[in-house]
Structure formats: C-alpha cells, structure tokens
A = this chain, B = another copy of it.
Amino acid sequence: MAERYIVIIAGGKGERFWPQSRAARPKQLLPIVGDSPLLTQTLERVMPIVPAANIYVITSAAQEKGVRAVCPGLPRDNIIAEPEGRDTAAAVGLAAAVIGARDPKGVFAILPADHVIHHGKKYQSDLNVAFAAAAAEPVMVTIGIAPTEPATGFGYVQRDQPWKTIRRKTVYNVKRFVEKPDLATAKKYLRSGTYFWNAGMFVWSVPVVETAIAQFAPELDAGLKSIRTALAKGRKLGPVMKKVYPSLQKISVDYALLEKSTNVVVLPSTFDWDDVGAWPAVARHYTADPAGNVGRGQRIVEQGRGNIVFSEGDHLVAVVGVDDLIVVHTPDATLVCPKNKAQEIKAAVKRVSALADGERYL
C-alpha cells in the first residue's frame, strides 16, 4: 500500500535576514522566531503524522552540514543536498524519483522549511486532508492561505467550484494560478474572497507528479530519467545527482506544472501562517514592550517606539531616541536599518560582498 511522505524544501538563502542569516546558516537554520531553528520547528510539526523514515529534506551543498546538525532524528540518506540549486520543479522531480524508487505510488507533501506556523494541530489536520485527497484521486493538492492583506510578494491561486468535502473540509477545484500581482490587483484578489496565497505547499502522488513533468516539462523529465534509472538499479543517489543535477532544466514548479495542469485542487488552510520574509515580519511573533519594541538578547530602548532589536551573546545593544528601527547584532557584524527600508538589506549584502574581505561576513 502506498505510504505518506514529507519532503521539506530547505534551500532559501535568507539574505534578507543578514547578518543573523549567512550563506551557510540561512533563515531556516536560525531560531528567527521561537527557540529552535525554523527547520526544526517544521520537522516537529510533521513528525506526529509521518514516520521519520518517510521524511526527506532537500537542501543545498552549502547548507547540508547545518541541516544535518538540526535534523538528528532523520535517516542520513533522507537529507539530500543539491549540488547546485535548479529551482523547485527539479527538486519536486527529484523527490518523486527518490520516493518512487521505494514506493511507486507514494503520496508526498512538499513543504517549505522556513515558515512560521504556531497552530501545529490544525496544520497536521489540514495535511491529513490533503493526503487523503491526493491518495483518493490523481490530483495536485495545493494548500492555500487565506490572504490577510493585499500582499504583492506572493503568487495567488484562485478557487473554482467545490470539488470534494473531506473530514468536513471543502477542497475546491482551482480556476488558475497567478504570479505576484501589483498592489491594485492584489487588492482586487483580497476583496474577491476566492484567492489564496500560494505558500509552496503541495501534496500529490509520485505518478501524478511524474505524469505532469513528462507532459509539461519534457526537458526536465529527460534529465531526471538518469536519476530514476540509477535508483532503479539500486545505485546510490549521490554520484548520479552530482553528474546530472547541475544540468537539469531550471524552472519553478508553479510555472512548470501547476499553472498548466487541470487537475489542481486547493484546500484552504485553517492554521496560522507567516513566511516571515524579512525582519519587520519577525516583530509579529514577539511580545512587545509597552512602547511596541520587540527583540531578543541584551538590549535597552530609551525613548523609542516600534524598534526590533536582536543581539547575540552577552553583547548589549542600546537604542536611544529612535523609532521603527531594526538593529541586529551578531559577533562579527551589525545591521542598522529602518523597518520600512528592510527590502534594501539585500543591497547592503551586495555592498558587503564587494568589500576587500567582505566574504567573511556573508
């Protein structure tokens, strides 16, 4: 009988959390929110519904060591490092190949490693509904997040008519996937009530994924073939990955499969969700002092409101007479940036890499 699998995608670089995040220690490996790394929190949320032997993490070579360090409960081979990033369609195809080799009809969920979700039980319950849907019919189930604001940083998925009700939850047919909208369009989506944020959470079976790749991404399919063949012959994954992965077609799973497939359904999530895309989002998850300041570590804020102050070690950060500022201290680098300029942190990281010995800070 086909089993259930979880594939956690832990590949983000997290430049927007510099200097706390680094090339080898990105957002998902940090306790940006909570006391353990976001990847660990993701693992802990899925452990109750899927055995550890069925949980995979796909990460990058640069982060492999860090990922292994925070996933001690997983079998060694279940942590897979891409020799280089080839976007999400390749990662999904790789997951299908690996799971398909041991369970040709296996059903698996693709889940991001770096989102903050406090409602673990609801998350598990929604995943179980999605697994049931994907096991019952050859559909691609996407878990949609009901938008709370007209965000322009996410893709959206529009629901159509109800498809099925599973455990009292309605799953809808999908009318269409849309890329990141402009603000006016995002406002329309929010008002309509039929659009959800595409949070990169999908549940489907190996055959459904492989059929879709063969149909809509034949170039990728051809590249994945050698991986499937090697695994079918009982060979190790590492060598064939190293050989063919870097040349796989680089394309997102949304664009390659979901926008083109007609068998996509959406389950509106019932859990809270935050992708904490940048420092300002972090503030939402901390208890503020009476002046609205949040943070962690040794810090004082004197005559200031709405600041985010993070300090590592015993280092004291004193913020005086300023509002809505982000101050992040790490042992070798400190960032100071207004909350409304957080999108410029990436530009600063570029400036750092251009310094004579800038690499040491990245």
Chain A interfacial positions (CB closer than 8 Å to B) = 19, 298, 300, 302-303, 311, 314-322, 325, 327, 329, 331-338, 341, 344-345, 347-348, 351-352, 355, 361
Contact = CB atoms under 8 A, between A and B. Distances in A.
Given A355-B300, A361-B316, A322 B336 contact: yes
A351 B318 contact: yes
A347 B300 CA distance: 11
Given A320-B345, A322-B338, 17 more contacts: A302-B347, A302-B351, A303-B341, A311-B334, A314-B332, A315-B331, A315-B332, A315-B333, A316-B361, A317-B334, A318-B351, A319-B336, A320-B336, A320-B344, A320-B347, A321-B344, A327-B336
- The oligomer's copy count stands at 2
A348 B352 CA distance: 30
Contacts of A318: 19, 333-337, 348, 351-352
A320 B347 CA distance: 9
A320 B19 CA distance: 12
B300 A351 contact: yes
Contacts of A345: 320
A314 B300 CA distance: 24
B344 A332 contact: no
A328 to B, nearest CB: 9
B333 A302 contact: no
Contacts of A335: 318, 320
A145 B334 CA distance: 40
Given A302-B344, A314-B332, A347-B303, A337 B352 contact: no
A260 to B, nearest CB: 40
B317 A341 contact: no
15 contacts: A19-B316, A19-B318, A298-B355, A303-B347, A315-B333, A316-B361, A317-B333, A318-B335, A318-B336, A318-B352, A319-B336, A320-B335, A320-B336, A325-B336, A334-B334
A336 B333 contact: no
Contact of A325 (B300, B315, B317, B322): B322
A302 B355 CA distance: 13
A273 B358 CA distance: 38
Contacts of A302: 344, 347-348, 351
